Amino acid sequence: MKRTAVIAAIFLLLCQALVASPDKALVVYFSATGNTEKAAGKIAAMAGADIARIMPEVPYTPDDLDYRNASSRASRESADADARPAMLPMEKDAEAYDTIFLGFPIWFGDMPKAVYAFLDEHDLSGKRIAPFCTSGSSGIAASERSIREMEPEAEILSGERISMRDTEEDIASWLSRLGTDRRTI
Ligand SMILES: Cc1cc2nc3c(=O)[nH]c(=O)nc-3n(C[C@H](O)[C@H](O)[C@H](O)COP(=O)(O)O)c2cc1C
């Protein structure tokens, strides 16, 4: 009888430990004009994830973002494979999470160099990364390849371009597709 009680207690403790340490998810995003920030907020709310912003030390001005001007800051950074703007410290420790939703606007077909700087500064080996982007029209495939190259030991989940017209159902459908690949995030 006593032995059964001890086994039952151990079983209960194990169950509690499993419930107490669910998969931890963080939405990390860079946004210069607010679109990706909106998408990030929706994803964090729907996935029950924490959220943290990638912030360059020097914010981008409208002139910095002028993609028609080849000498604007964004144009110059995007054209330089080694450009990495200096970053402010993150509000959350990304390495303490199991799943990272990584969001950014598409700049010249790829991620802004601020996102490269984030990936340079963090070792996301063994984590799941779910990339998402906003853009005028470009897709996320090129950025997914860049993330895979920079984090070869992470599992890169199927990325999503979030349109400003997307509804919560559209986002829920992406989250559930991720959840069918793996356990629910
Ligand atoms: C410097 C720069 C380059 C851009 N390049 C592209 C591009 O190659 N393809 C595209 O579809 N949209 C491009 N866009 C549009 C942005 O991806 C789009 O407006 C995005 O939603 C902005 O996100 P944010 O408000 O979070 O900064 C570019 C915008 C900027 C400022």
**CATH number assigned to the domain comprising residue 177:** 3.40.50.360
* Residue 5 counted as domain residue: no
* Residue 12 counted as domain residue: no
* Residue 8 counted as domain residue: no
What is the DSSP pairing of strand 99-105 with strand 128-134? parallel
* Residue 116 counted as domain residue: yes
Per-residue pLDDT at 177 exceeds 60: yes
DSSP 71: T
* Residue 18 counted as domain residue: no
- Other C-beta atoms within 10 Å of 34: how many? 10
Per-residue pLDDT at 98 exceeds 90: yes
- How far is ligand 1, taken at its centre, from the CA of residue 168, in Å? 22
Least confident of 32-41, 146-155, 171-180: 171-180
Tens of pLDDT, residues 133-147: 999 999 999 999 999
- How far is ligand 1, taken at its centre, from the CA of residue 31, in Å? 10
Q: Which of 38, 64, 107, 137 to mutate to test the pocket of ligand 1 (most atoms within 8 A of CB)?
A: 107
Number of domains in the chain: 1
Of the chain, the percentage scoring pLDDT greater than 70 comes to 85
User: Residue 161: which domain range?
Assistant: 23-181
* Residue 154 counted as domain residue: yes
Q: Which residues line ligand 1 (CB under 6 A)?
A: 31-37, 65, 67, 74, 105-109, 134-138
- Other C-beta atoms within 10 Å of 50: how many? 16
Least confident of 18-27, 130-139, 147-156, 157-166: 18-27
Cβ contacts of 65 within 8 Å, gap of 6 or more? 32, 33, 72, 73, 74
Mean pLDDT of 11-34: 72
Q: What is the pTM of this model?
A: 0.88
